[in-house]
Chain A
Amino acid sequence: AQKVTQAQTEISVVEKEDVTLDCVYETRDTTYYLFWYKQPPSGELVFLIRRNSFDEQNEISGRYSWNFQKSTSSFNFTITASQVVDSAVYFCALIMDSNYQLIWGAGTKLIIKP
């Protein structure tokens, strides 16, 4: 079965703190793709990153970084020095090579307090 689990329903931190959003996935496919999307209060879904299963290199983009570990089936997302504008719901998602459908996690609501 394919599944994406975001165990943290809601996280609240004070501005400038670092925060990590967890994502654990399940798939039997050897080829798959992982994504993170951001949904701010305005409601749109914004693509953040894509990672394929053959590329375990971690990625950093400004204050955002992603840690992909196949050994633990995790694709965690860290925001360094969080800002109020980072407040949003963040979704992790999975596509298997055999089925072109996004499997979504339930989302983590991130609240950054000033």
Chain B
Amino acid sequence: DAGVIQSPRHEVTEMGQEVTLRCKPISGHDYLFWYRQTMMRGLELLIYFNNNVPIDDSGMPEDRFSAKMPNASFSTLKIQPSEPRDSAVYFCASSYPRSGDYNEQFFGPGTRLTVL
């Protein structure tokens, strides 16, 4: 079975440009998470969805960041305009909690974003 798929794996862009990161969760998983990892702040949850609906976006740093999940098999994280401080590794994860339990989150390989 395919795991969580993210694209692109690496992205280098210039300040001010729009960046779109993509994620395909594991089939059947109804929770999807977007994380950012930096040396300074570690792993931060940006936003998560349940059944394609955003549940908590309190971790989104500012209005330049937006996320969508148009269907159960696809999500995007967009940064517009990008800034050098957005440089980080962005992870997507998915999960399928069983009733009364919390399953582990399965992570994609990450997208390494560099904003010059």
Chain A residues at the B interface, C-beta cutoff of 8 Å: 33, 35, 37, 43-47, 50, 52, 91, 95, 97, 100-102, 104, 106-107
Q: Is A52 in contact with B107, judged by CB distance below 8 angstroms? A: no
Q: Is A50 in contact with B104, judged by CB distance below 8 angstroms? A: yes
Bound-state Cα–Cα, A47 to B108, Å: 11
Q: Is A100 in contact with B48, judged by CB distance below 8 angstroms? A: yes
CB < 8 Å neighbour of B43 from A43, A47, A91:
A91
Q: By the criterion of a CB under 8 Å from any partner CB, how many residues of chain B are at the interface?
A: 23
Within 8 A of A (CB), among B6-34: 31, 33
Q: How far is the CB of A53 from chain B (nearest CB, A)?
A: 11
Bound-state Cα–Cα, A46 to B91, Å: 12
Q: Is A102 in contact with B107, judged by CB distance below 8 angstroms? A: no
Residues of B within 8 A of A101 (CB): 45, 48, 56
Would you call the interface of chain B mostly helix, strand, loop, or mixed?
strand
Q: How far is the CB of A40 from chain B (nearest CB, A)?
A: 12
Q: Is A47 in contact with B91, judged by CB distance below 8 angstroms? A: no
Residues of A within 8 A of B45 (CB): 101-102
B105 at the A interface (CB under 8 A): yes
Bound-state Cα–Cα, A104 to B55, Å: 19
Q: How far is the CB of B54 from chain A (nearest CB, A)?
A: 13
Within 8 A of A (CB), among B82-116: 89, 91, 93, 97, 101-110, 112
User: 22 A-B residue contacts at CB 8 Å?
Assistant: A37-B107, A43-B89, A43-B110, A44-B109, A45-B93, A45-B107, A46-B107, A47-B107, A50-B102, A50-B103, A52-B102, A91-B43, A95-B102, A97-B102, A100-B31, A100-B55, A100-B102, A101-B48, A101-B56, A102-B33, A102-B45, A106-B42
Residues of B within 8 A of A107 (CB): 42
Q: How far is the CB of B77 from chain A (nearest CB, A)?
A: 17
Bound-state Cα–Cα, A105 to B43, Å: 9
Residues of A within 8 A of B102 (CB): 33, 50, 52, 95, 97, 100
Residues of A within 8 A of B108 (CB): 44
